[in-house]
Amino acid sequence: MIRKLTLKKEREHETNEASIAGNVMRDLIAHVTNDNLIGRKIKSGELRKKMVEPPWKCPDMFTMTTIEMEHFTMEWLELKENPNEQKVILQLHGGGYIGAMRNAYRMFAGLYNEVSKGMSVLTIDYRVAPENPYPAALEDAVSAYQWLLGQGWFAEDIIVTGDSAGGGLAMALCHYLKDHGMQLPCGIVAMSPWTDLMASGESYDTNYERDPLFGNTRDSLIYNKDYVGDHDPMDAYISPLYGDFRGFPPMLIQVGSYEMLLSDSVSVASKARHQGVKVRLSIYDGMFHIFQMAAKMLPESRKAWAEIGKFIDVLSND
């Protein structure tokens, strides 16, 4: 059940309450990340950078093609039979601009394919800091977008999606495209987007003790400056919150109510809406950062993916 609430004078959609399974998973995450043995490495992103994963086994129903670009690689996921060629999805992964692509995003690609009724997904393994600080990630996102155009897709055929840093990068990409006279994609899906690298929102304080992933410390991934370097963190290509959203395509923004990054979503939604952009902001009560990774294990993540599917369906029929 969805109810309305007022938050910063904006009427948003919020789930009524967290499920039992959601509460259990949130508490488990908090327990693990507060464990001194590994918690600091999880919060700082150190563990993510050093993580070694088994090779990805692509499900039989898909073909996955690796595309070598000049500075990075991309992966094209497509149904073997009857792919939906109405539109294409460009996925920008999260990881605080310091973590490379993981198997979780290959799973995301499959979920995007499922909820979009068979659309192909291009996921880019863009360059990350500290070896490749700003503007490397943005340059690679622009290159991937231009690659799709070169393959015969029109801008109105492209849906850009991203989580956390990838959600912010999706908006930064659109700021760049607009500033350089290029046509924007037809829509944006952003999960808990990191839009304010100044960390200026009120939720950085109000959710400080509630956020199970980043809370109770100022020495965490969301305060890492490796990507920003000596650049202005208020640059719209770094923190899209500070940009001009006029002319942006419709956006679906999903975020958990327990996140320190909650304000990043609320503030962007408010600003973009007041600049004439169609925005749906869905706040999932009791949820944590990128709870959508639970896929079908939690009622909230199932609902979130269903909502993404409905949003893509609306974009496809406009």
Strand positions, DSSP E, 212-265: 251-256
Tokens coding 192: 């808990």
Q: Check: CB of residue 93 under 8 Å from CB of residue 163.
A: yes
Residue tagged active-site, from 289, 300, 301, 307 = 289
Residue tagged active-site, from 12, 75, 259, 307 = 259
Q: How many of the other CB atoms lie within 10 Å of CB of 75?
A: 20
Q: How far apart, in whole angstroms, are the C-alpha atoms of residue 78 and residue 83? A: 7
Active site residue 143: no
DSSP, collapsed to helix, strand or coil, labels residue 260 as coil
Q: How far apart, in whole angstroms, are the C-alpha atoms of residue 204 and residue 233? A: 16
Q: How many of the other CB atoms lie within 10 Å of CB of 9?
A: 6
Residue-wise burial string across 122-144, b where 16 or more C-beta atoms lie within 10 A, e elsewhere: bbbbbbbbeebbbbbbbbbbbbb
In 3D space, the residue among 133, 143, 150 whose CA is nearest the CA of residue 233 turns out to be 133
Active site residue 231: no
In 3D space, the residue among 171, 166, 161, 94 whose CA is nearest the CA of residue 304 turns out to be 161
Helices of type H across the chain: 20-33, 39-44, 46-50, 103-115, 136-150, 165-179, 203-206, 262-274, 299-317
Active site residue 289: yes
Q: How far apart, in whole angstroms, are the C-alpha atoms of residue 258 and residue 204? A: 10
Active site residues: 164, 259, 289
